[in-house]
A = this chain, B = another copy of it.
Amino acid sequence: MAGCLAAAALLAACAQAPLRGTGDLGVVVERAAGRLQLVETTGARIIGQVPGLGDLSHASVVYSRDGRYAFVFGRDGGLTKVDLLRQAIEKRIIQAGNSIGGAISQDGRMVAAANYEPGGLKVFATDTLELLADIPATYGDGKKSAKVVGVADAPGNRFVYSLFEAGEIWVADLSDPKRPAVSKFRNIGKEPYDGLITPDGRYYMAGLFGEDGIALLDLWNPAAGVQRVLDGYGRGQEKLPVYKMPHLRGWAVAGTHAFLPAIGRHEVLVVDTVGWKESARIPVHGQPVFVMARPDGRQVWVNFAFPRNDTVQVIDAPSRRVVQTLKPGKAVLHMEFTPRGEQVWISVRDDDRVVVYDTASFASLKELPADKPSGIFFTTRAARIGF
Contact = CB atoms under 8 A, between A and B. Distances in A.
Interface string A12-38: 001001011111110000000000000
A84 B66 CA distance: 13
Nearest to A221: B318
A274 interface: yes
Interface residues of A, number: 59
A68 B155 contact: no
A23 B67 contact: yes
A181 interface: no
A157 to B, nearest CB: 8
Interface of A is mostly: loop
Residue among A17, A201, A256 having the largest count of chain B Cβ atoms under 10 Å: A201
Interface string A43-74: 00000000000000000000111111100000
A232 interface: no
A11 B22 contact: no
A385 B380 CA distance: 13
A118 interface: no
Contact of A155 (B20, B66, B298, B383): B298
Contacts of A155: 296, 298, 340-342, 360
Interface string A88-112: 0000000000000000001110000
A42 interface: yes
Interface string A296-324: 11100000000000000000001000000
Most buried by B among A1, A42, A106, A220: A106
A8 interface: yes
Given A7-B4, A8-B4, A298-B155, A342 B107 contact: yes
B66 A20 contact: yes
A21 B86 contact: no
A157 B361 CA distance: 12
